[in-house]
A and B are shown apart, each in its own frame.
Chain A
Amino acid sequence: MKYLSKYRRHKFATPMLIIIALSTLGFTFSAATASPAKSELAASAKSTLIAEGKEIFLKGCSSCHGLNGEGASIAPSLIGVGAASVDFVVGTGRMPMADMSQQVMRKKPLYTEEETAALAAYVATLAPGPASITNEEITWERDGSTAEGGELFRNNCAMCHNFAGQGGALTKGKYAPTVMGVEPKHIYEAMITGPQAMPVFSDKTITPQEKLSIIKWIKSAEAEPNLGGASLGRTGPVTEGLLVWTFGLGLLVAISVWLTAKSR
């Protein structure tokens, strides 16, 4: 004890004590709250997927979407949106949303795949809607055509998502996000559910086979190397102009200054 008491009046003693106390409190709290959730999950593993989904829904979604998914002033009704919608918005991390901005952003998903599936299963019981899809179900590699997909993409998607799928601006702060790096099933689900500002592309407008072609084209654009050198974002002439004024002309003017520097 003498060893400790030597440092009792050390200038770091108080801050250290506060840090130790706070971290003890924090770790205890997180341990205490995490463990019942885990045990609950373990328990619900026996119950049906739907019951589990309802559990997650009540905890994570109902404060905005209502206890029965009926919606409220700040969130839309989920009755009839179907499992596909849930799989898309939760699977791409858009829900639960981080903040109430113009548009819900894509981010790291909060729920695991199992939890998302459970949520989707529960929401699908509220009313019939488009069913969710797995990546295995959409055989875009086998059944899609890149060239046809490109034409369909330019006809239906490029006006918002840009010619290379890099995304673009919509009105009043909304935007069409990039379609690069999106899982095939999520692309498919977005087309059949029309999230946020996006229209629904029903199977009559774009047949399921054509949807696979679009996915194949997107994946091909994603994998395509930058054939002409640095891509400059694949967003058109604006970045090219920016580069020419900064690097191109900047370098040439710098060289001009250098060439005439020793004239005095």
Chain B
Amino acid sequence: MSARERVTGTVANYVDERTGSAKWLKKNLNKVFPDHWSFMLGEIALYSFVILLLSGTFLTFWFDPSMEHVVYKGSYQPLKDVEMSAAYASALNISFDVRGGLLMRQIHHWAALIFMASIVVHLLRVFFTGAFRKPREFNWILGIGLLTLGIVEGFLGYSLPDDLLSGTGVRIAHAIIQAIPVVGTYLSFFAFGGAFPSEIFIPRIYVVHILLIPGIMLALITVHLMLVWYQKHTQYPGPGRTEKNVVGYPLMPVYMAKAGGFFFIVFGVTALLGATASINPLWLYGPYTPGQVTAGSQPDWYMGWLDGLVRMAPPWETYAFGYTVSWNILLPGLILPGIIFTGMALYPFIESWITGDKREHHILDRPRNVPNRTALGAMSLTFMIVALINGGNDLLATHFDLSINQIMWGTRIGIIVLPPLAFVITKRICLSLQRADRELVLHGRETGRLVMLPHGEFVEVHEELTPEKKWLLTQHEQAAPIELELVDQAGVRNPKSFRAKLQARFSAANAEAVAKPTAQELKQLENEHH
């Protein structure tokens, strides 16, 4: 035993005797995680959150969330002696007079964009592979909560510097609050402490931005990860992988090294962006005054779809009982996002109701084997992308020589027509992929090698798949649709017959599949060939 081993052994023993940590550590350091690139998307989100906390803390040392009127005396000449809020002045100060301030500000903002983007791709991975199924429904809801909080948090951060762009954003948020029927005006007075623009809004959202929401997010992320730990990670189907095991590498040393290294890679990419690409050049925007607005006023991308929906909304308004209902804001700004996020949160329960499947699942689905879910995902994604495109309609118009009116009408029609189209097309693609899988299993891979048999017949040589590959292509189960029970055994009409009918209909659509090859079929084929 070397001296070093003796010393570490003594220290470890000392700690273990007092905390009993050895057993816990042994169990957890050997915890196995499956390896796949798509399992690292959530990690990107986690690491960019850490970067956000670090860079954000740096920024709080100099940012002054005050609406006090000051005259700028800093080193950015084009704004010299311009009247502005102390908040904006301190943001300029961070950018030009604090060492490393601009880099930190840009890292903070880029990290926010990466954070939201990685949340979205992580969500898509979880959705398309069915990782949200029992027992992970709660974790899915936590994820939706984190996504929502991330959007709000990002928007508040975007609003803080009180430049022309952020002020315009706050104005739109104000309008959306006001559009809530009956109580909207009161709510806006409550949030802004009076009329717009208010003196207390920025100090308030500062506290929410740096303390309240990050605190809640940190708590939710902790629970999110603890659940992953406790429920164990899902894995893709493959030989030796079952619903009762996890095949992969242990946390120590493989994932310690991988995850630790990956954190620095994420930090590196963020720092690279922060150092080389300008983000929110707030000195160019100038201070916010309610009388000004600039062309190209857009939110950050994660709110771009919302802006796109507002931009395409028709000018509908109704007057009822002395109140104005602004459907043009209410519908795209509150009702549609409400439906979308509620639907997302409830989806695991909706799917399990349709399939009637209440079992635990730890093996992920290949998206093609669940055509309805995959098609639904493609449909929602199409909706979001069309909305997002309209969010940048003015830049599309100037850069591609288009008419902004045509883009608006194109997306108005597109947002209704394209999502169902995407559903149908995706479902058909999934089914034909299933058919291709079936062909592969039954007849093997086409080698492209033509052979002439002695009697003159030409055949193409098919190469049989490996048993592993065959397993991969046939391991999924194909559930039959739920039987419709209109009358029970006693011949009495089922009181829940409407729900049952609905469920049966959905279930039938959901069960549509190309039958996977059975063992019998394979055997029969083998007998024919040999």
Q: Do A and B come from one complex?
A: yes
Residues of A within 8 A of B (CB): 102, 146-147, 150-151, 154-155, 158-164, 166-173, 175-176, 217, 220-221, 224, 226-232, 234-245, 247-249, 251-253, 255-257, 259-261, 263
Q: List 16 A-B contacts (CB under 8 A).
A: A154-B294, A159-B294, A162-B295, A163-B164, A163-B285, A167-B295, A168-B295, A172-B404, A224-B284, A237-B165, A237-B301, A238-B304, A245-B301, A248-B114, A252-B114, A259-B262
Nearest chain B residue, comparing its CB with the CB of A173: B403
Query: Is B26's CB within 8 Å of the partner chain A?
Result: no
Most buried by B among A158, A173, A228, A232: A228
Give the complex CA separation of A224 and B77 in angstroms. Answer: 11
Q: Are A168 and B114 in contact (CB under 8 A)?
A: no
Give the complex CA separation of A230 and B276 in angstroms. Answer: 6
Instruction: Give the number of residue pairs across the A-B interface with Cβ within 8 Å.
Output: 204
Q: Mark B370-401, 1 if CB is under 8 A from A, else 0.
A: 00000000000000000000011111011001
Q: Are A169 and B78 in contact (CB under 8 A)?
A: no
Q: Mark B80-124, 1 if CB is under 8 A from A, else 0.
A: 111000000000000110000010001000100110011001000
Q: Are B41 and A229 in contact (CB under 8 A)?
A: no
Nearest chain B residue, comparing its CB with the CB of A174: B403
Interface of B is mostly: helix
Most buried by B among A221, A231, A235, A252: A252
Q: Are B269 and A251 in contact (CB under 8 A)?
A: yes
Q: Are B295 and A172 in contact (CB under 8 A)?
A: no
B residues less than 8 Å from A251 (CB atoms): 269
Give the complex CA separation of A230 and B272 in angstroms. Answer: 12
Q: Are B37 and A256 in contact (CB under 8 A)?
A: yes
Q: Are B113 and A248 in contact (CB under 8 A)?
A: yes
Q: Are A163 and B165 in contact (CB under 8 A)?
A: yes
CB distance from B263 to the nearest CB of A (A): 12
A residues less than 8 Å from B39 (CB atoms): 260
Nearest chain B residue, comparing its CB with the CB of A238: B392
CB distance from A248 to the nearest CB of B (A): 5
CB distance from B270 to the nearest CB of A (A): 8
CB distance from A102 to the nearest CB of B (A): 7
Instruction: Name A163's contact: one of B79, B266, B277, B294 (CB within 8 Å).
Output: B294
CB distance from B305 to the nearest CB of A (A): 11
Nearest chain A residue, comparing its CB with the CB of B273: A248
Q: Are B404 and A167 in contact (CB under 8 A)?
A: no
Query: Is B444's CB within 8 Å of the partner chain A?
Result: no
B residues less than 8 Å from A161 (CB atoms): 295
Q: Are A252 and B265 in contact (CB under 8 A)?
A: yes
Give the complex CA separation of A175 and B81 in angstroms. Answer: 33
Nearest chain B residue, comparing its CB with the CB of A146: B78
Residues of B within 8 A of A (CB): 35-41, 44, 77-82, 95-96, 102, 106, 110, 113-114, 117-118, 121, 164-165, 249, 258, 261-262, 265-266, 269-270, 273-281, 283-286, 291-301, 304, 391-395, 397-398, 401-406
CB distance from B2 to the nearest CB of A (A): 32
Q: Are A224 and B165 in contact (CB under 8 A)?
A: no
A236 touching B298 in the complex, CB below 8 Å, given contacts A147-B79, A150-B79, A221-B78 = yes
Instruction: Name A244's contact: one of B81, B114, B295 (CB within 8 Å).
Output: B114
Q: Are B402 and A173 in contact (CB under 8 A)?
A: yes
Give the complex CA separation of A226 and B39 in angstroms. Answer: 37
CB distance from A175 to the nearest CB of B (A): 5
Q: Are A167 and B164 in contact (CB under 8 A)?
A: no
Nearest chain A residue, comparing its CB with the CB of B43: A256
Instruction: Name B296's contact: one of A102, A162, A241, A245 (CB within 8 Å).
Output: A162
Give the complex CA separation of A229 and B181 in angstroms. Answer: 45
A253 touching B114 in the complex, CB below 8 Å, given contacts A150-B78, A228-B102, A241-B300 = no
Q: Are B298 and A245 in contact (CB under 8 A)?
A: no
Give the complex CA separation of A237 and B395 in angstroms. Answer: 11
Q: Are B269 and A248 in contact (CB under 8 A)?
A: yes
CB distance from B477 to the nearest CB of A (A): 25
A220 touching B405 in the complex, CB below 8 Å, given contacts A236-B298, A252-B118, A260-B35 = no
A167 touching B284 in the complex, CB below 8 Å, given contacts A221-B78, A229-B276, A256-B40 = no
6 cross-chain pairs, A with B, having the tightest CB-CB distances, nearest first: A168-B295, A241-B301, A228-B278, A173-B403, A169-B394, A169-B397
Q: Are B278 and A227 in contact (CB under 8 A)?
A: yes
CB distance from A264 to the nearest CB of B (A): 9
A residues less than 8 Å from B102 (CB atoms): 227-228
Q: Are A169 and B398 in contact (CB under 8 A)?
A: yes
CB distance from B203 to the nearest CB of A (A): 24
Known: A230-B277, A236-B165, A244-B273. 4 other contacts (CB 8 A): A166-B296, A227-B278, A248-B269, A259-B262
Q: Are A163 and B78 in contact (CB under 8 A)?
A: no
Most buried by B among A159, A169, A231, A239: A169
Instruction: Name A158's contact: one of B77, B79, B294 (CB within 8 Å).
Output: B294
Give the complex CA separation of A239 and B113 in angstroms. Answer: 12
Give the complex CA separation of A172 and B405 in angstroms. Answer: 6
Nearest chain A residue, comparing its CB with the CB of B404: A169
CB distance from B216 to the nearest CB of A (A): 24
Give the complex CA separation of A227 and B394 in angstroms. Answer: 25
CB distance from A179 to the nearest CB of B (A): 12
Give the complex CA separation of A66 and B165 in angstroms. Answer: 47
Give the complex CA separation of A119 and B292 in angstroms. Answer: 38
Give the complex CA separation of A226 and B165 in angstroms. Answer: 18
B residues less than 8 Å from A154 (CB atoms): 164, 286, 292, 294
Give the complex CA separation of A228 and B284 in angstroms. Answer: 11
Instruction: Name A237's contact: one of B284, B286, B299 (CB within 8 Å).
Output: B299
B residues less than 8 Å from A239 (CB atoms): 395
Give the complex CA separation of A68 and B405 in angstroms. Answer: 37
A residues less than 8 Å from B275 (CB atoms): 229
Nearest chain B residue, comparing its CB with the CB of A168: B295
Give the complex CA separation of A114 and B288 in angstroms. Answer: 45
Q: Are B298 and A231 in contact (CB under 8 A)?
A: no
Q: Are B284 and A164 in contact (CB under 8 A)?
A: yes
A residues less than 8 Å from B270 (CB atoms): 248
Instruction: Name B164's contact: one of A158, A237, A244 (CB within 8 Å).
Output: A158
CB distance from B373 to the nearest CB of A (A): 22
Nearest chain B residue, comparing its CB with the CB of A264: B35
Q: Are B78 and A240 in contact (CB under 8 A)?
A: no
A residues less than 8 Å from B80 (CB atoms): 146-147
B residues less than 8 Å from A176 (CB atoms): 295
Nearest chain B residue, comparing its CB with the CB of A226: B278
B residues less than 8 Å from A173 (CB atoms): 397, 401-406
Q: Are B296 and A248 in contact (CB under 8 A)?
A: no
Q: Are A147 and B113 in contact (CB under 8 A)?
A: no
Q: Are A167 and B35 in contact (CB under 8 A)?
A: no
A263 touching B35 in the complex, CB below 8 Å, given contacts A147-B81, A159-B295, A248-B114 = yes
A244 touching B113 in the complex, CB below 8 Å, given contacts A229-B277, A238-B395 = yes
Most buried by B among A161, A163, A168, A217: A163
Instruction: Name B37's contact: one of A171, A245, A257 (CB within 8 Å).
Output: A257
Give the complex CA separation of A176 and B78 in angstroms. Answer: 23
B residues less than 8 Å from A167 (CB atoms): 295, 398
Give the complex CA separation of A238 and B301 in angstroms. Answer: 7
Most buried by B among A164, A168, A244: A244
Give the complex CA separation of A115 and B504 in angstroms. Answer: 81
A169 touching B393 in the complex, CB below 8 Å, given contacts A164-B284, A230-B276, A236-B165 = yes
